[in-house]
Amino acid sequence: MTSRTPFPSPTPSRIAGNDPDWWRGAVIYEIYPRSFQDSDGDGIGDLRGITSRLPYVADLGVDAVWLAPFFTSPQKDFGYDISDYCDIDPAYGTLADFDALIAEAHRLGLKVMIDQVLSHSSDRHPWFVESRSSRDSAKADWYVWADPRPDGGPPNNWLSVFGGSSWQWDSRRRQYYLHNFLTEQPDLNFHNEEVVEALLNTVKFWLDRGVDGFRLDTTNFYFHDAELRSNPPDPDVPDHKRIEAYHWQDHRYDKNRPEVPGFLRRLRALLDLYPGSATVGEIGQGPRSLELMALYTGGGDKLHMAYTFDFLGAAFSAGHFRSHVARFEEVAADGWPCWAFSNHDVVRHLSRWRGHARDDRKLASLAAAILLSLRGSVCLYQGEELGLHEAELAYEDLVDPYGLRLWPEFKGRDGCRTPMVWDGASPTGGFTEGKPWLPVSAAHLARAVDRQRADDTSVLSEYRRLLRFRRDNPALVKGSITFVENAAPEPGETLAFVRRHGDSAILCLFNLSADPAEFRAGADLSGVIGTGRDRIPLEGHQALFLHIGPGGQALPPAGTGAGLTASSSTGDRTEPRSTSGQSSLT
């Protein structure tokens, strides 16, 4: 596929002074606009509210913000159903408000990435209104339409992520249209060249407006099988996923199609005209997710980076983290991952993993230390840095269509989308002066920003230290990763790897168990950590970083403590010691 759309180059002033590879190893802070900060008292967060809070985000030490959708939308799926790709929904503000947000973010040194939902639009989008009006309309083939079977049923067995068939009957055209999500979210037809060019031009609109990149929603859904073949059953679906019929299928024909990389190359060609712009794609979950992430980011001509849902589930073990990262390193070649533990679509990780910890503050610090040490870029979700759990909501408070449909087996996504808490003394957490669109969790108020900001032992302070430590050590930002074995007779739930960049190397040690453990250097670290350091005790949920010199010797700690560990020097030896949750990152 080759683009027929002429894209002019941007003005040099737009990219002056930028590192075009800023995204490689960047920490990206996800903002859910509806829940971050309300500026006008209507109970819904907005762009002006986000702009007013950007100094807080910059002070954390992250590199960029990712804004979930704020485009014109009927809000059936809260912005992921777009009716105008090139305008702002009035609930969130205006284009002038967006321009002011961009200017303030750039003044603070923050890049701005926005959600781009290309796979589907709202059924209120003018494109779909015209497409469904007639089989002979100019946009008749802009969406995926199919005739019914002879018995009137849908053309195949494809299922919607949100439940039921992914085909919706339309009486005007007397055909079915495809919707992988809500019926109000019809899928665009990427096999149509006019559709591809129109979507690329919406991307260009925002690049010209100054955005630094895009988070691409449901990247592996862009294409469908043109023959509309039915999916085969998935013989390996785990029992806990059988509550959703969607997981019973091997989705080889309704997504993950071989045409996707061709479109991504065209998208990358457009972004390459805007040096310093970047993409991060959402791949989702499935047995081939890591391979797709590698495919979509390899070669330097498609996505810059991508993430999957592999770390967004219930699994929490050293083996799980090691196997998935190592698998990506094995298949990725020159690809680049972006790791996340939480986002706006899943239960917050402290709730998913709470059964593995006696102290959730320790778990929050440990999780942050692991995430910020992996090779790749990182996405943090608003409130993650406060150690927030999933909010407990009553059924009558739910607004998420996914949760309303699957209740009570699945409670939806509202629990991770409740408003950000800034002021612990305010019943609305300082989010709004009106009635918030979702209730503010009373349990969250004790962890509000103002309650943690001045507390050196808080989760917020720990995130700041870890982010500063990461930024000060290039090995953690852009270095390689090599996993090492724990040669202790009972290694327990320990995770160990070395990050290297040039002459800099850091040994990263983590005890994922609440019980004490010991790390012993094996043959793969022979002579690396020096005499007297071959056995390192680790307390429960402890993280430890040790600098390694060019010759393999252990160096005095210029910031070797993280998570729950600090270090002290005695002569030319470095001894780890527990600090009950505090860090000493210098």
Peptide bond connecting 436 to the previous residue in cis, omega within 30 degrees of 0: no
Structure tokens at 45: 């967060």
Catalytic annotation, pick one of 81, 184, 282, 414: 282
237, exposed or middle or buried, with CB in 10 Å at 0-12, 13-18, 19+?
Answer: middle
Residue with tokens 């870890």: 466
Report how far residue 540's alpha carbon sits from residue 465's, in angstroms, rounded to the nearest whole number: 20
Distance CA 62, CA 404 (A): 35
Q: Collapse the DSSP code of 554 into the 3-class scheme (helix H, G, I; strand E, B; otherwise coil) and give the result.
A: strand
Domains of the chain: 22-121+193-463 (3.20.20.80), 479-578 (2.60.40.1180)
Per-residue confidence in pLDDT tens, the chain, 586 aa? 333 333 334 433 333 346 899 999 999 999 999 999 999 999 999 999 999 999 999 999 999 999 999 999 999 999 999 999 999 999 999 999 999 999 999 999 999 999 999 999 999 999 999 999 999 999 999 999 999 999 999 999 999 999 999 999 999 999 999 999 999 999 999 999 999 999 999 999 999 999 999 999 999 999 999 999 999 999 988 887 888 899 999 999 999 999 999 999 999 999 999 999 999 999 988 888 999 999 999 999 999 999 999 999 999 999 999 999 999 999 987 999 999 999 999 999 999 999 998 899 999 999 999 999 999 999 999 999 999 999 999 999 999 998 888 788 778 999 999 999 999 999 999 999 999 999 999 999 999 999 999 999 999 999 999 999 999 999 999 999 999 999 999 999 999 999 999 989 999 999 999 999 999 988 777 555 554 456 899 999 999 999 986 644 444 333 333 333 333 222 233 333 332 333 333 2
Gap between the Cα atoms of 465 and 61, Å rounded:
9
- Rounded to whole angstroms, how far apart are CA atoms 94 and 117? 19
CB 288 within 8 A of CB 312: no
Long-range contacts formed by 551-557: CB under 8 A, 24+ apart: 552/527, 552/528, 553/528, 554/528, 554/529, 554/530
Whole-prediction pTM: 0.92
Structure tokens belonging to residue 224: 């469908």
Buried b (16+ CB within 10 A) or exposed e, 411-433: bbbbbbbbbbbbebebebbbbbe
252 contact partners, CB below 8 Å, separation of at least 6? 231, 232
What are residue 480's DSSP bridge partners?
500
Does residue 46 have an active-site annotation?
no
Going 148 to 150 to 153 to 155, the CA torsion angle's sign is negative
CA 546, 549, 552, 555 torsion: positive or negative?
negative
Identify the active-site residue in 81, 184, 217, 385. 217
Crossing angle for the helix pair 360-371 and 459-472, to the nearest 10 degrees: 20
Query: Is 217 one of the annotated active-site residues of the chain?
Result: yes
Residue matched to tokens 């903002």: 31
